[in-house]
Structures are given as structure tokens and as C-alpha cells.
């Protein structure tokens, strides 16, 4: 092990496009006790994940080849940002896994991902980003456990039809961006999302906006662009949205 490795706090292993993938043993990280930031791009890790440093705060693993994250990974008590864009994940993890300090989970462009993970032991998640997950058809109902969730991005998840009813229960969501072409229904309980400031449901198949939407007194931006709504599908009293600054129909 090169001298000074144990002092490294940030490391990026980036393989340029056109060079395939590179393989590293997880044991190579065993002495990096202070490693807090790790960026992997088209890199394969071989071996037991227990060798990864326990001080990781930010992990970006673009192009992760795994279909599911292995159980021995889940001892990352300090992990705050987990960026898994362009992964081969089919399921993020099996069952319920504990990541108590996780605040940001980005699974964008994971084209094989079929459903979101169980969130019941990820209580402090604030940002959930699932853009371009083209096989995603299910959001786990435990999403209602996320009492600090403020940002949800669901763009071009072409198989996602609806969100679980419990999604609308947390009061913390401020931004909901939905551009899923087969998305059909906004639940009546959307009126309970009192913190919502930005709601975009563009290019969906939504046919009716629930009347309860007029209870969103903090809503500043509402966009339903690209949605073919009938004349009576939008509540007549949108004028009662006292904070609304941008309306795009």
C-alpha cells in the first residue's frame, strides 16, 4: 500500500468512455480509514464490501454493474449522498436496509430498475431522484416514512402509472417534478401536501386535477404542459392559490 494512503479523504477512479470497465479489489480501500468522498465511474469492485471505509459521506458510483447492492455494504452509517446514476440495478437493495444519515438518493438513468427500494430505514432522506428509470413501475409504499423528503424527481419513467396513496401523506415535500408519459392519476390527498411549492406534471396522461389542489397555499409554480385536459378537468377556483406565480397549462 503506497505511503500516505491512510490519509486520503477523497478519491476518484474515472475510466474514460470507450475503454470498457476497470476492476479493483475492495481490499484496496481497507487502509483508507479517513476516506469520506469516493467517486467511481465505470468501475467494478471485487471482494467484500466490508472493506470499504466506514467514514464515507458521499459515494458516487456511476455505471455500477451490480443488479442489487450486496448486504455487506450496509454498514455505512455516515453516508449522506448515494449517487448511483447509470447503474445496472434491477432492485436497489433487498428488503429493508439501514442508512439513517442518507439525505440524497439519485438512481437516474438506471434503465433496468423495476421498483424503488424500501424506505422504512432511511428516515432522513430529503432528495429522491429517479429520472429516466425506464422500467420503473412501482414506488414502495414505505415512502410515507420519509418525513423530511423535500424533493422528488420522476422524469421519463415511462412505465410509472401512479404513486402510492401514502406518498401524499408526508407534509415536507416542496418540489414534485413528474414527466411520466403513462402517469394517469393525481390522488385527491395532494391537497394535504401543505409544503408543496413547485408541482410539475408535464406530458402525462392525467385527465383531471383534484379539487383539493386549491388547498396548496404555498404553491408558487404549477405546470401541466403537454397534458390534454378537458374543459372541466381543472378546478375553477385556482385563483385561491394565493402564492401562485407561474401557471403553465
**Over the stretch 121-166, which tens digit does the pLDDT of each residue have?**
999 999 999 999 999 999 999 999 999 999 999 999 999 999 999 8
Helix ranges restricted to H, the chain: none
For the segment 194-203, the average pLDDT, to the nearest whole number, is 96
For the segment 83-95, the average pLDDT, to the nearest whole number, is 97
At residue 42, φ and ψ (nearest 5 deg) are 55, 45
pLDDT greater than 90 at residue 26: yes
pLDDT greater than 60 at residue 185: yes
Q: What per-residue confidence (pLDDT) applies to 5?
A: 79
Closest by CA to 193, choosing from 132, 235, 146, 129, is 146
> Which one-letter DSSP state was computed for residue 115?
B
Helix (H, G, I), strand (E, B) or coil at 11: strand
Domains and CATH numbers, the chain: 5-183 (3.80.10.10)
pLDDT greater than 60 at residue 10: yes
pLDDT greater than 80 at residue 182: yes
Closest by CA to 134, choosing from 102, 159, 152, is 159
27-36, 68-77, 186-195, 222-231: the lowest-pLDDT one? 222-231
Would you tell me how many other CB atoms lie within 10 Å of the CB of residue 157? 24
pLDDT greater than 50 at residue 167: yes
pTM score of the predicted model: 0.94
At residue 38, φ and ψ (nearest 5 deg) are -135, 125
pLDDT greater than 90 at residue 58: yes
For the segment 108-128, the average pLDDT, to the nearest whole number, is 97
Q: What per-residue confidence (pLDDT) applies to 4?
A: 60
Residue with cell 430505514: 121
On average, the pLDDT of the chain sits at 93
For the segment 217-222, the average pLDDT, to the nearest whole number, is 97
Amino acid at each position: 500500500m503506497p505511503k500516505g494512503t491512510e490519509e486520503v479523504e477523497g478519491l476518484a477512479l474515472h475510466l474514460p468512455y470507450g475503454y470498457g470497465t476497470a476492476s479493483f479489489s475492495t481490499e484496496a480501500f481497507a487502509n483508507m480509514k479517513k476516506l469520506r468522498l469516493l467517486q467511481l465511474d465505470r468501475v467494478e469492485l471485487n471482494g467484500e464490501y466490508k472493506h470499504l471505509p466506514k467514514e464515507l459521506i458521499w459515494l458516487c458510483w456511476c455505471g455500477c454493474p451490480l443488479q442489487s447492492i450486496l448486504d455487506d455494504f450496509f454498514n455505512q452509517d455516515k453516508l449522506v449522498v448515494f449517487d448511483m446514476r447509470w447503474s445496472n440495478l434491477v432492485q436497489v437493495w433487498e428488503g429493508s436496509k439501514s442508512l439513517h444519515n442518507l439525505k440524497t438518493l439519485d438512481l437516474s438513468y438506471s434503465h433496468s430498475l423495476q421498483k424503488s427500494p424500501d424506505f422504512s430505514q432511511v428516515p432522513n432522506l430529503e432528495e429522491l431522484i429517479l429520472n429516466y428509470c425506464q422500467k420503473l413501475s412501482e414506488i414502495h409504499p414505505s415512502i410515507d416514512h420519509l418525513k423530511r423528503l423535500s424533493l422528488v424527481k420522476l422524469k421519463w419513467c415511462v412505465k410509472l402509472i401512479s404513486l402510492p396513496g401514502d406518498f401524499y401523506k408526508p407534509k415536507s415535500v416542496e418540489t414534485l417534478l413528474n414527466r411520466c408519459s403513462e402517469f394517469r392519476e393525481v390522488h385527491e390527498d395532494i391537497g394535504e401536501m401543505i409544503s408543496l411549492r413547485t408541482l410539475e406534471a408535464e406530458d402525462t396522461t392525467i385527465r383531471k386535477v383534484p379539487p383539493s389542489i386549491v388547498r396548496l397555499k404555498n404553491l408558487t409554480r404549477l405546470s401541466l404542459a403537454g397534458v390534454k385536459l378537458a374543459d372541466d378537468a381543472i378546478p375553477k377556483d385556482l385563483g385561491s392559490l394565493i402564492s401562485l406565480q407561474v401557471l403553465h397549462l
